[in-house]
Each structure stands twice: as C-alpha cells, then as structure tokens.
Amino acid sequence: LKIYNTLTRRKEKFVPIRKGKVGIYVCGPTVYDYPHIGHARTYIAFDALVRYFRHRGYKVKYVMNITNVDDKIIKRANELGEDPIELAEKFENIFFEDMEALGIPRADFHPRVTDHIDKIIEIIKAIIENRYAYVANGDVYFSIRKVKYYGKLSRQSLTEMVAGARVEPSEKKRDPMDFALWKEAKEGEPSWDSPWGKGRPGWHIECSAMSSEYLGEQFDIHGGAMDLIFPHHENEILQSEAAFGKKPFVRYWVHTGFLNVEGEKMSKSLGNFITIRELLERYDPSAFRFFVLLSHYRSPIDFSYDALEKAKLGLERLYNALDYARLVEVTGIKTNSVREAKKKFSDALDNDFNTPRAIAVLFSLAKEINKLDKVGDDAVGFLEEALDVLGLKERTGLSEEARASILELIEELGGMAASTDDESLVKTIINLRNEYRRRGDYASSDRIRRKLGEVGVILEDTTQGTTWKFRL
C-alpha cells in the first residue's frame, strides 16, 4: 500500500508504527454554520481511506476533533446575540446529522476542545518549559526564532510565510510570525482558568493536545484539506515536537484537494455556497459520494449539478450491471475478466487510494457483463464487494410515503400484499400489473408502471419476467 506524503512530496510505502494498526487524526469542523459540500468532500475522502485500510485488515483508530471554541464561533454568536458554546453545540449536532444523512459513519472519537482544556494547558506548559514559548501579559506565544527550520511541510521560506500568513498583529509578540497558544480572556468571551490567567486556547494547539491524547505523541496519519497545510499543520508540528521532544510527530501527512463550485471558491458573498442539506434535497447521498470518488482525493473537484447528474448516471450503470449479473447468474463459471478486474481494482486503491482508476475498472467490467448472457457468480460477489469497499450503498428502499401509496393502490385494485415490506409490496403490485397485461388492459398496467416510477421503482420487462429496481 502506497500513500502520498505531503511532508516528503512523494508516494511512500505505508509502514505503520505498530504492525497492523493505523492511527489517524483528521482536523474536524469549526461548528458555527451548516456544513457544506466542501466539508463533505474531505470527510468522504477520509472515510473512504479508513474503510479501505479496514478492508485491508488494519485495525484503525480514527479521530476527528470538533472545534467548538474559536474566533469565528465567537464572532457569529455575537452577531446573533447567542452564547458561543450553545451555538457550537447546535451546529455540532447539525454536523453529525448531516454526516449521517450522507452515509458517513462517525469516527471512533470526536473530541471537543472544551472537554480538553486541561490537556491543552498541560502541553502549553511543556512547551514553555522546553523554552519554545513565552508568556506575555496573559497570552502565550510560540517562538518561531527558537526553531531551526520552520516551513518543512509547506516548503516555504520564512519571508514567504510572512507574506502568505494572515499574521495577527499584537504588541505582545516578539516576532510577527509567533503564534498564540493561549489568548487572554476578553470581555464576554468563553474563558478558562490557567497558570497565565483567564483565557482560551489558540487555534492550532487543540490538535496537538487531542491527537496525543487519543493516538499518542507520535502517530501514523494526519489529514485535512490542503488549506490546512499552512499555517495549521505546520504549527502543529512545531508544537508537538517542542512539547514531546519526539520526531517526527506524524509519519504521513495526507491532504485533500478543495471542492469549488463551477470554477469558483465557495463563499457566502458569491452566493454559490451549497450546504449538505440543500444537496440532499435533490440528490441521493450515494450519487454524491460516487461523484467525489470519481476524482482522486488530492485533486481539486469542480462541482456542478451537471457533473453530479453525470456521476449519478454512471453509478446507475454499475447498479444495473449488478442487477443484470444477478439476474443471469450462472454459478461456477469463472471469467478471467473478473479475476483481472479484482486485481486491477485493489492495485488502484493500493496506489495512493486511486478511486477514479478503481471505478474505471468497475465500468469496464460492467460493460463486459452487459454483453454476456452468462456471468459467473464471482462477478456478482466482486461487484458487491467493490461497491461496499467504496462505501456505496445499494439502492435505498422505499420511503414511508412510497410504501403507503403503493399499499393504497394495491387496495384500490382489490389486491392484497402478504406483508408490507418493500419486496412483497412491489411483487404484489407487479403481479396485479401482469394480470392487467394478460387481459389486455394496458391503460391500467401503465398506470401502475407510472405510479411505481413516481415513487422510485423502475420496472423492466424481460423474457424472464418483470424485474424491478430502486432508482437512486
């Protein structure tokens, strides 16, 4: 298994610190607003990566923090006249709801900043003791001049960094590039007692604290989107190495590309901000996940509804091939194509999680399946497994309303369903439709087809009978 390491700018063989185990920390959301499809991109990519490690037999410990105290949260809360911690709590819940709706399971741990203030203080104390930080009037700053080499992750010189960083000015700093580990409390802001007076943590320190709490002082993989390379991750390296005196802090730095909307960065002012909720009103989560996985995790993604529609049709093609393979399944026939596809699929994912290449393998297999009238058992098994590895759920079942309206139609037509599960409802109504067709009452049989179409069930009349499937 090879993985691209931002630190070395190279694909490297993955060798975990502890055999068979992977510790991974991904920077989580700052919870002050509805999560958008850019967040979805990054968290789908890391979910896919974690899934693949598990599929390969690794025992994974996946940690994603929740930033629930921060300048942006305080600013938003002040605008709304709300309590910042309560505002954060509300949006944390919304974040988890949206992730669930997207089909992204929770990480193993989602530590919050406000639950780890003690740990944060402990680490800041260690950094001060090791003389990498200084106290200035209630603030604590990391001293950039104390490190030999700043900029190893982003590969910038100090002057480039000064130009690129949004340096927060403060008379308390000795050097403009010094960054705050602890900030003195301001009137009306959330604050905690510390050896330096009442205050709150700076932005970067939380991740040094929480990653070491859950994964140890050195661990395997640290991730986030590209925007976090500098200054956030660069500063995390300084903090953790200064506090613990162990190098390297992280073995593999993994960064996802940004998602833009029709060529523009998503922003409120451009009005092109798409929340996960808006997306899911129009599209199935699997369609979006497939759309994301059609790009390599490091590539930027240009989102448009047209592109998403195309991705959806692509995923339909794979599901259709699977349905067809199931329909014509003949046991015991092994095709070389399946064996070859299996190998190419895992080679692609082993090579820095190349999901677009892995999906291309599935497309060509689907094409072959559609040409055959006999498909081996193993084709069904492999496709099911491949979709599962990628986290693509099979078509979803009927909604409550859909079930109710089919039931209503069955009753109206004088039929009776054995039970109210999807399968028996659809089968009953298909039998009624076949009855009408036999009698030549095509108006009624078409009415049933249309009704099923409305609720997302697609019928196909084949020589072997009528088959059905759920539309995405």
**For residue 135, what are the contacts with CB-CB under 8 A and spacing of at least 6?**
128, 196
- Nearer to ligand AMP by Cβ, of 258 and 436: the residue is 258
Q: Look at the chain and count its residues.
A: 472
Which of ligand AMP, Zn ion, none lies near 227, with the C-beta cut-off 5 to 8 A by kind?
Answer: ligand AMP
Which of ligand AMP, Zn ion, none lies near 286, with the C-beta cut-off 5 to 8 A by kind?
Answer: none
65 interacts with ligand AMP by CB under 6 A: no
Beta strands in 151-236 (DSSP E): 179-184, 199-201, 219-225
448 interacts with Zn ion by CB under 5 A: no
Which of Zn ion, ligand AMP, none lies near 39, with the C-beta cut-off 5 to 8 A by kind?
Answer: ligand AMP
27 interacts with Zn ion by CB under 5 A: yes
Q: Which residues pair with 458 in a beta bridge?
A: 469
**Pairwise CA distance, residues 308 & 30, whole Å:** 27
- Nearer to Zn ion by Cβ, of 91 and 253: the residue is 253
Stretch touching ligand AMP by CB under 6 A, among 23-31, 103-111, 374-382, 463-471: 23-31
10, containing H or E segment: strand 10-13
In degrees to the nearest 10, what's the CA dihedral of 422, 427, 429, 434? 160
- Nearer to ligand AMP by Cβ, of 225 and 402: the residue is 225
In angstroms, the Cα distances linking 303 to 29, 46, 196, 254, 317 are 20, 19, 46, 22, 21
**Pairwise CA distance, residues 289 & 303, whole Å:** 12
Q: Say if residues 139 and 196 touch (Cβ distance below 8 Å).
A: yes
- Nearer to ligand AMP by Cβ, of 38 and 391: the residue is 38
Which of ligand AMP, Zn ion, none lies near 207, with the C-beta cut-off 5 to 8 A by kind?
Answer: Zn ion
- Nearer to ligand AMP by Cβ, of 6 and 30: the residue is 30
**Pairwise CA distance, residues 111 & 329, whole Å:** 47
Number of residues that bind ligand AMP (CB under 6 A): 15
427, containing H or E segment: helix 422-438
User: Which of 96, 109, 192, 258: binder of ligand AMP (CB under 6 A)?
Assistant: 258
140 interacts with Zn ion by CB under 5 A: no
Report the residue number whose CB is nearest to ligand AMP.
38
Identify residue 471 by its one-letter amino acid code. Answer: R
- Nearer to ligand AMP by Cβ, of 42 and 286: the residue is 42
What 209-213 contacts at long range (C-beta under 8 Å, 24+ apart), as own/partner pairs, is: 209/116, 209/119, 209/120, 209/122, 209/123, 210/25, 210/63, 210/65, 210/111, 210/113, 210/116, 210/119, 211/25, 211/63, 211/236, 211/240, 212/119, 212/123, 212/240, 212/243, 212/244, 213/111, 213/116, 213/119
Please, which of residues 172-211 interact with Zn ion by CB under 5 A?
207
Beta strands in 421-464 (DSSP E): 457-462
Which of ligand AMP, Zn ion, none lies near 168, with the C-beta cut-off 5 to 8 A by kind?
Answer: none
Question: 303, 299, 374: which is closest to 332 by C-alpha?
Answer: 374
325 interacts with ligand AMP by CB under 6 A: no
Please, which of residues 28-47 interact with ligand AMP by CB under 6 A?
29-30, 38-39, 41-42
Please, which of residues 205-264 interact with Zn ion by CB under 5 A?
207
Please, which of residues 202-231 interact with ligand AMP by CB under 6 A?
224-225, 227-228
161 interacts with ligand AMP by CB under 6 A: no
User: Which of 210, 266, 409, 426: binder of ligand AMP (CB under 6 A)?
Assistant: 266
- Which residues contribute to the site for Zn ion (CB under 5 A)? 27, 207
- Which residues contribute to the site for ligand AMP (CB under 6 A)? 27, 29-30, 38-39, 41-42, 224-225, 227-228, 256, 258-259, 266
